[in-house]
Amino acid sequence: MAKPWDHAESVIAQKFFKNQVGGLFRKQILLRPDETGLIERDGKITGKFGPGKHTVSNIFNRELTEIILVDQGIKSLRRDITGLWTRDDRKINSTVEMRFRVASPDKLFANLMRDRNVLTFEDLYSKISVEFLARVITPEVKKRKIDDLYGNREILERLRESIEVDLKKTLGLWGIGLVSFSLIWNFPPEYEKYLESRGIRKQITEEKEAEHDEELRAAENEKEIERLKAGGELSKEAMKAGLEREKLKREFELEMGKKETQEDMKEAMEALKLKDIKDGQKILRRAKKKKLNLPDDE
């Protein structure tokens, strides 16, 4: 009867010596889908065998000494990175999760299995954490305050993408393909309680999203002004409106610093949005009247 490779989910690859195979697998080895066998001789791979039943006597001869069984299914590795210190000396943690699969068993053997009998999640994580995870995440957290990290999706996504690019390159050299990578912050309970007590936990996220929306609206306004300027329709009007909008934005930022409740912040935000829309409409209306040589009613 063929015996399958019995291994834990955390095992990526495992080496068996010739004298072990008979006792472990008896006469036949059964490999499941997404499992591959490598035949090794003197530190070099001399053959492969894939899913199905394989007779031990056909795999080995007198010169061959070892086989390496590799699990090529998609695996998920999740770990916490603790003790990250912010610029204002607040400690946070992060959780990373990567989904991966062995793309090249040959590369995996050459880079990670020569001096190992078993390759596990812990072996892989220890290498990537030393290679760059701690090296990249630690300084990124250290240069920012905790308030800058909380609810700031832009910083988190930029860091995640940067790590993902480097991770793909590194794992690729080892014969491993990265399927996906995720990163989240874990803030201390006392910080979460502090935000809740002041009613600003949700406010911080909304404020950062509002800033992002404001940047998009400003970019659109600039494009429209440039279009009108190119047609000779705006000059001093556009410059004056631009300066006025920057002044309003600064006043808004100062006012936001004084607001302590979510209700006040939403009211201020809506007022600024309305003012911004009216100013934009006023600029376009004046530009069209100038183009048509109509008198300005304001």
Query: Which token pair is 264?
Result: 């006040």
pLDDT score at 113: 92
Residue 114: which residues within 8 A CB-CB, separation 6 or more? 43
pLDDT score at 184: 94
Residue 221: which residues within 8 A CB-CB, separation 6 or more? 245, 280
Q: Decide: helix, strand or coil at residue 73.
A: coil
Neighbouring C-beta atoms of residue 62, cutoff 10 Å:
6
pLDDT score at 271: 58
**Band of residue 88 on the pLDDT scale cut at 50, 70, 90:** very high
DSSP structural state of residue 179 = E
Query: Which token pair is 244?
Result: 């006025």
- Looking at the predicted structure, is the pLDDT value of residue 82 above 60? yes
pLDDT score at 87: 94
